[in-house]
Structure formats: C-alpha cells, structure tokens
Amino acid sequence: MFNKIFAAAVALSFTAHADMYTDFKGDESAGSFYGVTNKLIHMRLSQIDDDEASKTIIMFGDSITQGLNPNGLHFDYVNAGIGGDTVHGIKARVKNEDLGRYRAVFIESGTNNLLMGEIGSQVGDEIVEMIEYAAPKARKLYISQVFIPNRDKITHIAKDAPLADYKIKLTCAKFKNCVVVPLPVGVIDENGIKPEFSLPDSTHLNGRAYALWKNELNRAMASFPYSLYYKYFK
C-alpha cells in the first residue's frame, strides 16, 4: 500500500518546467560568496583549452563538492563547487557553460534546498529541469543522488526528501548518456546522513564519508585502467 501511495505522489508531483520559479535560492549577486567564487571558477576554466577539456570532468555542486580534494580520485576534473549553492544557482552556472567541451559533466545538488525547507518533490522537479537541459548538451552526464541532512538533528528536513532521488532516477533513464552516481551504501538512512559519517553540523561529510564517496565517484568516472579496477575489484 505504501509503495502505491508513494508512486501516486510521484506521479502527481512529477512536472518539468522551463526555468521554473523557486524561492529556494541564495544570494547570487556578483559581490556575494557565490558571485566571487563563480568568478574564480571561470578564471580556472579559462586556462583549460579544448584538448584538455575533452579529457576533463567539470564537477558542479555545493560545499560537498567544493570540499573534495584530489586524493584518491582517478580522473581529471575541475572543481566547480560553491558552498551554499542551491539547485537554482547550480543550474544557472550549468547553463552558462559550454558543456560539450568536457569529457563529462558531474552535478551534485539539492542539500541546501532541503536545509532551506524545500520539500523533496520540489527539489526533484528542479533537478529534473537541470538534467533535461544538460543531458542533450553534454557528452556524458553524471548526476549524484542527494545528500540528505540528518533529520533527527535538523528537524525541518522534509520527510519526502527521498522523492528527489526517485525523480532523478526516472529522468536520467530517459537519456543514454546520463548516469546516476549512487551515494555510498550505509551513509544515508531513513533519517538522512548518519552521525558517524558527518561533521557536527549533521550535513557535511567527514573524512570517512568522503573516502566512501570517492569510491563511488571512481566507480562511475575513473579513467582507464582505474575504471576496470573500480568496476570489477573495488
């Protein structure tokens, strides 16, 4: 019965809108942290020529992506994560980039939307719109599942937060070049990120969680021959 209700809720709320309106966004002005960091990212991107870009993954995201370091990652990438960014801001940056230049595009988003109080269904709708824009323009599109903050500690996190991942999965399946990158098994449960895998803020990953997430990123995106190792042995 629960599965039927869950599926019905998804069907009723699954809508894709062109540039859908949202109240869930941060300060995206030029002088904000978002604006300044975005400028720095573009300074780095301007130093990548087309040949380098064809071997590089551009990684869009929020502070979880921004916090990645290259240790243990077996692919070339440029980090385009911005702390505090929402789906709205990430989508704006995705739309401002020539996605086809890069070997692949990776997008991680949604956590700050949940922290702002957006329900999972609406977070999913926003990410769906971003997938439907990016997939036809990217050579390969990798979409991360959403890191859900711990609801026991941050009690306003929507109970329907997992709906976002359901919508991501359904939409990504429409495109041959779209791959959902799963979160590490055991890091997230029905109450969000487990305390043993987060910083004291009950949202951000600690070193243990990053190590597990890097395995998932490598499994999906590692360059040859590391790709074989992560596919068959890790």
Identify the weakest region by mean pLDDT among 14-18, 119-123, 222-226: 14-18
- Please tell me the distance from the alpha carbon of residue 174 to that of residue 87, in angstroms, as a whole number: 20
Q: What is the pLDDT of residues 39-94, one digit of tens each?
A: 999 999 999 999 999 999 999 999 999 999 999 999 999 999 999 999 999 999 99
Q: Which residues pair with 104 in a beta bridge?
A: 57
d(CA 37, CA 25): 16
pLDDT at 170: 98
pLDDT at residue 122 greater than cutoff 70? yes
Hey, which residues does 101 pair with through a beta bridge? none
Candidates 143, 144, 153; CA nearest to 192 is: 153
Look at residue 230 in the predicted model and tell me its pLDDT.
Answer: 72
Assess contact for 225 and 217: CB atoms under 8 A: no
Domains observed in the chain = 25-232 (3.40.50.1110)
Q: How far is CA 225 from the centre of its chain?
A: 25
